[in-house]
Amino acid sequence: MDIETERLIIDEIRPEDRESYFINISHDKEVLKTFVCQYQENLEDFDFERYLHRSDIFAIREKNAQKLIGIFVECDVDMEKKTLEIGYGLGNKYWHKGYMTEVVKAMLDYYFKSDFLTVYASFFPENIASKRIMEKCGMTYSHTNKKEFEYLGKERDLIYYKIEFMRQL
């Protein structure tokens, strides 16, 4: 999948993305407060191979630089029910530019054209920025899972938003 927006490209993760992925996701403690990923201390020990050749993780790149600045993830895909959950992470130096709203809108359009009926996304209660992204993209509150899992040493709640696509029969 290659999707272009006005300023960004969403495509596969490549071997040359290793350093950018490390800097913008796995080593960025600000990102890891709200995006679930294991922290990596140094690039030499970073096991990047596990992210290559996966059909559920995509690179987000600025068109002009072509460097990975974030990632977009598909999780819990249910083709029978035509539902999926999405997630995303963006290097903190790229925050507050509208990039992730641009990505999520483009991906929701892609899913609508791919016959998905419902797309979910979740966020930690303190991640108001992610909540705003979901709302700007037309997603609405679905439910809250209390203490869904442990992350960063504490049990975490997740708030779920969704968008449902109506189809003409």
Does 16 fall in a domain?
A: yes
Residue 35 is part of which domain span?
Answer: 3-164
pLDDT level of residue 152 (50, 70, 90 thresholds): low
Within a domain: residue 141? yes
User: Is residue 2 over pLDDT 70?
Assistant: yes
Task: Examine residue 104 and state whether it is found in any structural domain, yes or no.
Answer: yes
At 71 the three-state DSSP class reads strand
Reply yes or no on whether the pLDDT at 168 is more than 60: no
Are 123 and 159 a contacting pair, CB within 8 Å? Answer: yes
Q: Is residue 169 part of a domain?
A: no
What average pLDDT does range 51-59 have in this prediction?
91
Crossing angle for the helix pair 128-136 and 99-113, nearest 10 degrees?
50
Residue 109 lies in a domain: yes
Average pLDDT, the chain: 89
Q: How confident is the model at residue 159 (pLDDT cuts 50, 70, 90)?
A: very high
- The residue ranking higher by pLDDT, 41 or 82, is 82
Is 128 domain-assigned?
yes
Q: Tell me, what CATH number does 67's domain have? A: 3.40.630.30
37 touches 26 (CB < 8 A): yes
Model confidence pLDDT, tens digit, residues 5-27: 999 999 999 999 999 989 888 87
Classified as helix, coil or strand, 34 is coil
Q: Distance (Å, rounded) from C-alpha 155 to C-alpha 149? A: 6
In a domain, 43, yes or no: yes
Does residue 32 register a pLDDT over 90? no
Q: How many domains does one find in the chain?
A: 1
| pLDDT for 151 | 67
**Number of neighbouring beta carbons within 10 Å of residue 47:** 10
